[in-house]
Amino acid sequence: MSPARPSSDTPLIDARGLVKRFGDRIAVDGVDVAVHAGEAFGFLGPNGAGKTSTMRMIGCVSPPSGGELTVLGMDPLRDGAAIRARFGVCPQDDHLDPELTTGDNLTTYARYFGISRRDARRRAAELLDFVQLGERAGSKVSTLSGGMKRRLAIARALVNDPDVILLDEPTTGLDPQARHLVWDRLFRLKRRGVTLVVTTHYMDEAEQLCDRLVIMDAGKIVAEGSPPSLIERYCTKDVVELRFGDDALEPYADKLEGIGDRLEVLPDRILLYAADGDTVAPVLYGRDLAPSGVLVRRAGLEDVFLRLTGRTLVED
């Protein structure tokens, strides 16, 4: 029933002009995406950007309202079950049964993929060890911490040994230790050749995990590339953060005119974007500006993100 596995040249996920409407609201507005085998691909965007809606269409649980979508060389509308059989999904809100044990959550889920009871038990034990929950095999999910539940949800996404794993905000709400453990496990999967598709609004997560990503805003893709190429394209190499111990920063901004490529006035500091941050400080003092604090740092994905999606708070 399922066609042969696509070659590495053929995208595993190929979306063209993908649209998702909920009534009058357009959640995804003409998205073009191609994800190849073995890639770690990210959807980066603020809340409400359309990341989860896109993921749910790719995961064949929500039909597209428009555009073309091919997944694993198949049509999601016609071959949804066959596509889902080769996917592992870690949704944003876990979808675990809090009253079952961690082991039962995995074994019952494995059965949905037609895995025998014996293999399901063996696989559950292996996966609980993989996410460092081996000692909690008999614990009810309701007794686990948020980080443990997340790791369990990731383990569950691996129960069918999937070709592609969809992770919707895999580390949101986790403490730093738990986040690093999740990243470590995702790295290991990537090394094994598993294709990862991740949504996140954490820049460090995108930089850590993704070979390539798209930045989404208001349902559209506003930029695409590898994290370094995006920084190179949309930002300078360095960012100089200047503090003046003063609330009124506009007069300082006027005096900074012409230094660096671009500047941005924030409530507590001025950001000066420059190719070489170290050359900025001497110029400042030459203009009779004496900042109370100067921090020169490398530009990151967050600078690109805020430039492209703005600093205005986006509500869901």
In the complex, the residues that contact another protein under the rule CB under 8 A are 22, 56, 59, 61-63, 80-82, 84-85, 87, 89, 91, 93, 95-100, 104, 107-109, 111-114, 156, 160
CA 101 → CA 108, 149, 259, distances in Å? 11, 11, 60
Closer residue to another protein (CB): 66 or 300: 66
Closer residue to another protein (CB): 73 or 300: 73
CA 313 → CA 47, 75, 141, 200, 270, distances in Å? 9, 37, 34, 16, 19
* Shortest Å, Cβ 211 to another protein: 24
Closer residue to another protein (CB): 99 or 184: 99
Rounded-to-integer distance, Cα 152 and Cα 122, Å: 16
Asked whether the beta carbons of 185 and 20 are under 8 A apart, the reply is no
Residue in 211, 228, 243, 242 with CA at minimum distance from that of residue 304: 228
Rounded-to-integer distance, Cα 278 and Cα 18, Å: 44
Residue in 104, 91, 40, 27 with CA at minimum distance from that of residue 61: 91
* Shortest Å, Cβ 144 to another protein: 14
Amino acid at 48: G
Closer residue to another protein (CB): 149 or 212: 149
Please, which residues have CB within 8 angstroms of residue 251's CB and are 6 or more apart in sequence?
none
* Shortest Å, Cβ 81 to another protein: 4
* Shortest Å, Cβ 150 to another protein: 14
Closer residue to another protein (CB): 43 or 273: 43
* Shortest Å, Cβ 123 to another protein: 14
Closer residue to another protein (CB): 141 or 230: 141
Closer residue to another protein (CB): 93 or 268: 93
Please, which residues have CB within 8 angstroms of residue 208's CB and are 6 or more apart in sequence?
183
Rounded-to-integer distance, Cα 173 and Cα 68, Å: 34
Closer residue to another protein (CB): 42 or 91: 91
* Shortest Å, Cβ 103 to another protein: 10
Structure tokens at 315: 């509500």
Rounded-to-integer distance, Cα 128 and Cα 114, Å: 20
* Shortest Å, Cβ 166 to another protein: 8
Write b or e for each residue in 167-193: b if 16 or more Cβ atoms lie within 10 A of its Cβ, otherwise e. bbbbbbebeeebbebbbebbeebbeee
* Shortest Å, Cβ 252 to another protein: 49
DSSP 267: S
